[in-house]
Chains A and B, each alone.
Chain A
Amino acid sequence: MTNLSPGLILVIGGLLIPLIHGRARQIFMLALPVLGAIQLFGLDHGLHGQVAIFDYTLTFVRADKLSLIFGTIFLIASFYNTIYSLHDNDTMQQVAAPVYAGAAIGAVFAGDLITLFVFWELTAISSVFLIWARRTARAYIVGLRYLIIQVGSGVILLAGVILYAQKTGSIAFDHIGLSDLASWLILIAFGIKAAFPFLHNWLQDAYPESTVTGTVVLSAFTTKLAVYALARGYAGTEMLIYVGIVMTAFPVFFAVIENDLRRVLAYSLNNQVGFMVAGIGVGSALALNGAVAHAFVHIIYKSLLFMSMGAVLHRTGTIKASELGGLYRSMPITTVFCIIGAASISAFPLFSGFIAKSLTLSATAEGGYVVAWIVLVFASAGVLHHSGIKIPYFAFFAHDSGLRCKEAPANMLIAMAIPAFLCIAVGVYPDPLYAILPFPVDYQPYTTSHVLSQFQLVLFSCLAFAVLWRTGLYPPEMRSTNLNTDWIYRKALPTLVRWLMQVGGEIRRGVLFRAETRLERFIKQVYRHHGPDGIMARTWLTGHTVLAVALLLGGYLLLYFI
């Protein structure tokens, strides 16, 4: 019991929620992450809960600095997410959210690849209910697409694990590195969940279609679980630097033209995970600390941003930039929280993004990766543009949409206050976070050089936006769908299948028609010879038969005598 996985408390507790009702249920839901945290802080470093099955050893809990920091932030997120959703008494989501969070925590503590696989799939299966909970036909279809891709990731992981176990004789989840097919399969499985380029679109497809509260929950766990798995298994894999920088750069362009503000945040999530992946690729102690610290603060400010947009959606019924604007007067507190989240993700000094992103940037520079570093700085400017400015500006300022609504419900405001406080606290005083990073930290983010450079970058980027806006060059927000890689399976493949069915149908009809005419002709022939009037079926009179036989016999006799 003392060394139980903290994740299991949330999984089992989540399944018990339907049995409890009223206020007791709310208290129970809030207690789950707290109990999980008590369990987590009681864990001794090392391997626990080991069970031998055949030749392999399952390890349910591996507590070290890397798993503990991810477990900690997942529990913090689970706690404020629960507060955020207290106004909504939807049992489906109330069960799915803690089971999903618990599965992610269970996966983080998994010491072997089979346990990892089990929790990996559980995150997929539990999280899809947060999308289906929107209860629209669209959400149902999106959820199916999401589930196929997520479960697919697990299946690829299992295939990789089986090959890996055959080769190495061990299922322990330690550094894997890229070498053979097994390691590639496992990397692809991680890459799907981390939303690598071309494997990414499930994220922008599914997250914005979830409920007000569901999107906030979804944003915290799946991709960061993948970041953890990559840091554990593939640290220092140079290819990841380039995968990471592509991830940081390309969503920036899509985010600028996207109209659904929660989808803008989904693109921005993709971009942020890119920073972490690049850091893991660099692989030095500083870089890995940067990736982990970034994951930690990112969960907090991304939740805050999704929460503020969720509050807007909850109150106004829309989250389209083209329909919003001027809400700062109706929702002033939400506006302030959103700006705190925006300043954090943009890495303004004194906010949490700054003290984490600096680590990765410095590590990339020190590693001598010039191109990667330039792309990361470019992507930092891009983040500021779409998450730092676009999100708060179009929702709360810009043109007055005429929408007037109430401030967000009290539980939402309390839930937003927690990450908002953490964004500033960690930004101002990063030492406690640095102390729990996987490697010892000898780094000072607040040097004059860093602060001046960062202020230049962010304020000139703001200036660029202001200039474009004043001159009318900034593209207006439009109701639209922007194509992405999901076009392949949402449009191209169905069209191809429809075309094939049509052409196939034509061919089938043609072939059948020919076959039918031939068969008919054949039957006619048979009928002619063997039918009632056919020569072969004609009934002869007895006299004719006797005559024929007599003639035959006569002929035979004649031949015999000759």
Chain B
Amino acid sequence: MDEPHDRPETESQKPWMYRRAVINGVFWGLLVVCVLLGLADLVYHRHTVFAFEAFPGIYGIFGFISCIFIVFAGIGLRKLIMRDEDYYDD
């Protein structure tokens, strides 16, 4: 996220979106919100159709694992099907 430009910049010269403090703030803020959402399941019982939905934080865990799986499967898929940009030369 803090990829340098042509010349090195000090933190204060960077656009605010690329400053380390902002990036860290967003990341840790997101983590805190996620933890709170997971904990909310301990105090609130969701209306479920399937029994396994009642497991605390199940949606969060499932979403997190799914995304990690998708990315690693994608990396594997690249090995299989990635070719040069002009592979089809049409």
Complex CA gap A326/B74 in Å reads 24
A452, B38: Cβ atoms under 8 Å? no
| With contact pairs A449-B47, A470-B27, A481-B84 given, residues A455 and B67 touching in the complex (Cβ less than 8 Å) | no
Q: Please state if B70 and A462 are interface contacts (CB–CB under 8 Å).
A: no
The chain B residue sitting closest to A484, CB to CB, is: B81
**CB-nearest residue of chain A relative to B75?**
A475
Interface size class of B (residues with CB under 8 A): 35 or more
Q: How far is the CA of A468 from the CA of B64 in the complex (A)?
A: 11
- The main secondary structure of chain A at its interface with chain B is helix
CB–CB A252/B70 < 8 A? yes
Question: Contact at B75–A378, with CB atoms within 8 Å?
Answer: no
B27 (CB) vs chain A CBs: closest residue: A466
CB contact between A329 and one of B6, B15, B41, B88 (< 8 Å): that residue: B15
* Complex Cα gap A399–B60 (Å): 28
Q: Are B67 and A481 in contact (CB under 8 A)?
A: no
CB neighbours (8 Å) of B65 from chain A are: 464
B17 touches A397 (CB 8 A): yes
Q: Is B38 touching A456 in the complex (CB atoms < 8 A)?
A: yes
- Size class of the A contact interface (CB-based, 8 Å): 35 or more
CA–CA, A352 to B30, complex, Å? Answer: 23
Contacting pair A481 B1 (CB below 8 A):
no
Contact between A449 and B64 (Cβ–Cβ < 8 Å)? no
Q: In this complex, which of B5, B48, B82 has the most chain A Cβ atoms within 10 angstroms of its Cβ?
A: B82
Residue among A256, A399, A458 with the highest chain B CB neighbour number at 10 A: A256
With A365-B50, A402-B5 as known contacts, state yes or no: A490 contacts B90, CB within 8 Å.
yes
- What 1/0 mask marks residues of chain A from 368 to 383 whose CB sits below 8 Å from any chain B CB? 0010010001100110
Do residues A400 and B83 form an inter-chain contact, with CB atoms below 8 A?
Answer: no
Q: Mark B66-90, 1 if CB is under 8 A from A, else 0.
A: 1110110111011001111111101
Which residue of B is nearest A141, CB measured? B90
Complex-state Cα separation, A447 to B71, whole angstroms = 32
Give the chain A neighbours of B84 by CB distance below 8 A: 480-481
A483 near B81 with CB under 8 A, answer yes
Query: In the complex, which residues of chain A have a beta carbon less than 8 angstroms from the beta carbon of B50?
Result: 365, 370, 373
Task: Kindly list chain B residues whose C-beta atoms are within 8 Å of the C-beta of A406.
Answer: none
Residues of chain B touching chain A, judged by Cβ–Cβ distance below 8 Å, are: 1, 3, 5-6, 15, 17-18, 26-27, 30-31, 33-34, 37-38, 40-41, 44, 46-50, 53, 57, 59-68, 70-71, 73-75, 77-78, 81-88, 90
Using CB atoms and an 8 Å cutoff, list the residues of chain A in contact with chain B.
137-138, 141-142, 252-254, 256-257, 326, 328-329, 362, 365-366, 370, 373, 377-378, 381-382, 384-385, 397-400, 402, 447-449, 452-466, 468-470, 473-475, 478-484, 490-491
Q: Could you list some 7 contacts between A and B, CB below 8 A?
A: A449-B47, A452-B46, A453-B59, A454-B59, A457-B60, A461-B64, A463-B30
